[in-house]
Structure 1
């Protein structure tokens, strides 16, 4: 089932996880950026004077809202409320691909356009809050948001550190092929509406080829994204960008994740950062791409069952954000 269909599925009302204490924090709306591509967001602030550490959340690839809603589940809302219950201020926002998809994709857009401006605006918004410790504002990205988190930190050197949850390092165009093969082996009915494996391979080869240009037809490229998007993504090395940052990092990976994998993606972070004392790398063996615990092969349809993000991930990220210090 395509990701967009999962987002639009009629849902059961979301209920807070047991690890959330709604009496521990307050929320207020915020607008990030200005003009045509301004997006709405929510800032979640723990009660009490602080100063509190704070984190900006970056959703994964696709037209996600601020909660990263998929079916009845809200991964980033789990994170925001779970962390705020533990004394951490959080800002999350609707992606521009959710609020202004047609105008955004109609231009020669890039992954940097998709993530960096609003993330920087979110960091600035947190700095203006009197209860936030301005020396401890972090960026947390999930999936493609994790891939782009080092790019955000490179654009704002005052970022205190990074949390990368299932951040991909394998080229996205080839990850698509891997996902299709996984589904073909484990859930072939879910391939309806998705490109064939052969078509995905041809699109991936085109992304890799010297023939890729701004004028390459979108219909020949993955997701119908423009050549500008793939040229920018092809030139971006998240591991090298992270390695050039003198910042602490917490990198987490689900062992059952088939979209971003231990073998193909976490191995990249390990190769580039494992010797760094300020980098913590952790695998949650039972978790899938959304960090939902389970067993057996992970399938896209699993995301449509009401679930919550692994409480161990919430606890570990909260502990890390509370105790880490940027050297």
Structure 2
């Protein structure tokens, strides 16, 4: 859930190329960028710490030297005067104005991505299309494979939670493109695919079980390609993708190996409780407050888990919330901001998300039954500073399940200094993802490639 925090702006620093002009400044401690394409009557904003990258403004209104745009989803109106070297105006959110004072820059300081692949490429790249078994979903993706004749080993990349494009574009990074480029340079074919409802793929979002079926369709597509060795098709999944890969492997004998990048080794409920606590702890939140958040989240999650996926559970979540409120001392309600209706609405507005089929399936999911059936080679990686999928518990979960399966060819590795996106991090908060130049650790890539070559 993304929010935009308002602060007054201080000065920072666009260079116009092909009709684009960039302006940069800050909102308090947050970096702020604006891209203007006046001829195209288009504009986009960037607030990297809050996950906004090239957020396209809907129906911006341009005057001779002015811009006005409404961001209804944030309750915000952006107005300003466009000058040769500055953009000056106002960011007014929920009725509270903050001045804007941005300076023109050649390149936004937080958009340096040195690992972005640049051609010419020593491999083939093909835009591909295929469908699932009942043709209810049409998929669009990119298949890269070495030049020359041969039957190449292949890897299907599986994105994490949320609807992602084929490059798993996150916070201005394209990690799946970086991974595909590295693997195809080393002799592997790689298929990366837009998620349902994104890019060239049709369909609506579903549950992790639905996405597992999508991966099965991708495997069938690869099996029919003359460039691919059908005996050497494996899966590499990030985050939820690392949860989906074992789900697919137990359904298909065509899966030759798995690489899990911060995949789930523990149940969804346990993971989400740990995730929220780790994120808050990393930002300096005290243990007492975190304990209250844990208690509330557990109450809501348990209500969501009890009922079938098909049920509308908003009323049940409200009952669970009301019971939790009633059981809390007055001091706790004050500390949590729940003495006001505004504070309570910060919780109730999340009921749609918690009540979605995807979220409830995730809460109920236990990876152990699937892991306990997997005997193919598995490489499970986690960053030591991952606050979304904690390394210790989830790698231990992989070891537990694969050992129960009698798997003799698996390896778990905790990579020091890496975050959830496998970046070498400094503060290691979620807000830092978009501020880091590194897209994917070269050391992690080297480890993956060396392991794949041994399979």
TM-score (normalizing by structure 2): 0.61
Structure 2 residue 167 is matched with structure 1 residue 167: no
Structure 1 gaps, min length 5: 190-195
The correspondence for 1:157, drawn from 253, 275, 296, is 253
Contact kept? 2:145, 2:190, Cα under 8 Å: yes
2:250 counterpart SS class: helix
Q: Which has the larger radius of gyration?
A: 2
Structure 2 residue 433 is matched with structure 1 residue 303: yes
Alignment of 1:1-327 (within 5 A): 2=2, 6=51, 8-9=53-54, 12=111, 14-16=113-115, 23-33=121-131, 35=135, 37-96=137-196, 98=198, 104-105=204-205, 109-113=206-210, 115-187=211-283, 199-208=296-305, 210-217=306-313, 220=317, 224=353, 226=355, 228-229=357-358, 232-233=361-362, 236-274=365-403, 276-295=407-426, 297-305=427-435, 306-324=437-455
Change (3 A) 1:75 1:187: same
Shift of 1:32: 3.4
1:267 counterpart SS class: helix
Length, aligned pairs only: 311
Distance in 1, matches of 2:53 and 2:352, equals 18
Shift of 1:123: 1.2
Structure 2 gaps, min length 5: 4-47, 56-109, 286-292, 318-349
Structure 1 outlier segments of 4+, above 6 Å: 100-103
Distance in 2, matches of 1:127 and 1:242, equals 24
TM-score (normalizing by structure 1): 0.83
Q: Which region of structure 1 is more displaced relative to structure 2, 219-228 or 128-137? A: 219-228
Change (3 A) 1:44 1:58: same
Alignment partner, residue 72 of structure 2: none
Change (3 A) 1:16 1:151: same
Contact kept? 1:146, 1:168, Cα under 8 Å: yes
| 1:15-41 Cα shifts (integer Å, max 9, x gaps) | 5458x8852212111123265532311
Structure 1 or 2: larger helix share?
1
Contact kept? 1:140, 1:164, Cα under 8 Å: yes
Contact kept? 1:173, 1:207, Cα under 8 Å: no
2:51 counterpart SS class: helix
Alignment RMSD: 3.1
Shift of 1:311: 1.2
| 1:97-147 Cα shifts (integer Å, max 9, x gaps) | 545999625xxx42211x122211211222222222111000111111001
